[in-house]
Amino acid sequence: MLLRKQAARISTLGQPQGLGAKLALGLPDVVLLDLNFTPGRADGAEGLALLAELRALPTPPTVIVMTAYADIPLAVKALQQGAADFVTKPWDNDKLVATVASALAGRHPQQAAVGSGTSQLLGDSSAMRNLRAMIASIAPTEASVLILGENGVGKELVARAIHDASRRARGTFLAVDMGALPESTFESELFGHRRGAFTDARSDRAGRFQTARGGTLFLDEIGNMPLGAQAKLLTALERREVTPVGADHPEPVDVRIVSATNLDEARLHDPQVFRTDLLFRLNTIVVPVPPLRARREDIVPLIQRYLSVYARHYDKPLRPLDDAAIVALEAHSWPGNVRALRHACERAVILGQGPTLTAADFGLGNLRPSAGQPMVNNDALKLDVRERETIAVALSRSDGNISSAAKLLGLSRTALYRRMEKHGL
Q: Is pLDDT larger for residue 55 or for residue 396?
A: 55
Please say whether the beta carbons of 243 and 188 come within 8 A: no
Query: What sign does the CA torsion over 260, 265, 270, 271 have?
Result: positive
pLDDT reported for residue 104: 73
| pLDDT tens digits, one per residue of 258-314 | 999 999 888 889 999 999 999 999 999 999 999 999 999 999 999 998 999 889 888
Same domain for 131 and 85: no
pLDDT reported for residue 106: 59
What is the mean predicted confidence (pLDDT) over 89-102?
A: 74
User: What is the DSSP-derived secondary structure letter of residue 229?
Assistant: H
Same domain for 270 and 126: yes
Please say whether the beta carbons of 108 and 29 come within 8 A: yes
Asked, for residue 239, whether it belongs to a domain, the answer is yes
Q: How many residues does the chain have?
A: 425
Q: For the chain, how many structural domains are there in total? A: 3
Domain at 332, CATH number? 1.10.8.60
Burial of 184 (0-12, 13-18, 19+ CB in 10 A): exposed
Same domain for 251 and 331: no
pLDDT reported for residue 356: 93
Asked, for residue 385, whether it belongs to a domain, the answer is yes
Which residues lie closer than 8 Å to 158 by C-beta, 6 or more apart?
121, 131, 135, 147, 149, 260, 287, 289
Domain at 62, CATH number? 3.40.50.2300
pLDDT reported for residue 102: 67
Q: Measured between alpha carbons, how far is 231 from 150 in angstroms, rounded to an integer?
A: 25
* Short-list 372, 359, 370, CA closest to 423: 372
Please say whether the beta carbons of 372 and 381 come within 8 A: no
- Domain end, chosen from 288, 310, 345, is at 288
Domain at 274, CATH number? 3.40.50.300
* Short-list 102, 110, 29, 108, CA closest to 309: 110
Asked, for residue 340, whether it belongs to a domain, the answer is yes
Same domain for 243 and 345: no
Q: How, if at all, do strands 241-242 and 251-252 pair? A: antiparallel
Asked, for residue 165, whether it belongs to a domain, the answer is yes
Q: Measured between alpha carbons, how far is 319 from 183 in angstroms, rounded to an integer?
A: 49
Asked, for residue 103, whether it belongs to a domain, the answer is no
pLDDT reported for residue 371: 42
Same domain for 239 and 131: yes
Asked, for residue 359, whether it belongs to a domain, the answer is yes
Asked, for residue 98, whether it belongs to a domain, the answer is no
| pLDDT tens digits, one per residue of 360-386 | 999 875 444 344 433 334 344 356 666
Query: What is the H or E stretch that residue 170 is in?
Result: none
- Domain end, chosen from 288, 321, 352, is at 288
- Give the residue numbers spanning the domain of 57: 1-90
Type of residue numbered 138: I
Please say whether the beta carbons of 99 and 79 come within 8 A: no
How many helices (H) and strands (E) in the chain?
18, 10
Q: Is pLDDT larger for residue 122 or for residue 366?
A: 122
Q: How sure is the predictor about 358, in pLDDT bands with cuts at 50, 70 and 90? A: very high
* Short-list 361, 395, 398, 363, CA closest to 382: 363
Q: Measured between alpha carbons, how far is 423 from 425 in angstroms, rounded to an integer?
A: 6
| pLDDT tens digits, one per residue of 10-25 | 888 888 888 888 887 7
Q: Is pLDDT larger for residue 339 or for residue 97?
A: 339
Q: Measured between alpha carbons, how far is 14 from 374 in angstroms, rounded to an integer?
A: 47
Same domain for 330 and 198: no
Q: Measured between alpha carbons, how far is 50 from 34 in angstroms, rounded to an integer?
A: 10
Q: Which alpha helices (DSSP H) does 165-207 contain, by range?
A: 186-191
CA-CA-CA-CA torsion for 308, 309, 314, 320, nearest 10 degrees? -20
Same domain for 183 and 154: yes
Q: Residue 399, SS3?
A: coil
| pLDDT tens digits, one per residue of 318-328 | 999 998 899 89
Same domain for 29 and 124: no
Q: What is the pTM of this model?
A: 0.61
Burial of 209 (0-12, 13-18, 19+ CB in 10 A): buried
DSSP 363-396: T-TTB-TTT--B---TTTT-HHHHHHHHHHHHHH
Distances (CA, A) of 178 to 81, 222, 310: 28, 6, 32
Same domain for 316 and 180: no
Q: Measured between alpha carbons, how far is 314 from 104 in angstroms, rounded to an integer?
A: 19
Same domain for 216 and 332: no
Ranges 121-135, 177-191, 206-220: which has the least confidence = 177-191
Same domain for 362 and 342: yes
Same domain for 304 and 243: no
Asked, for residue 373, whether it belongs to a domain, the answer is yes
Average pLDDT of the chain to the nearest whole number? 82
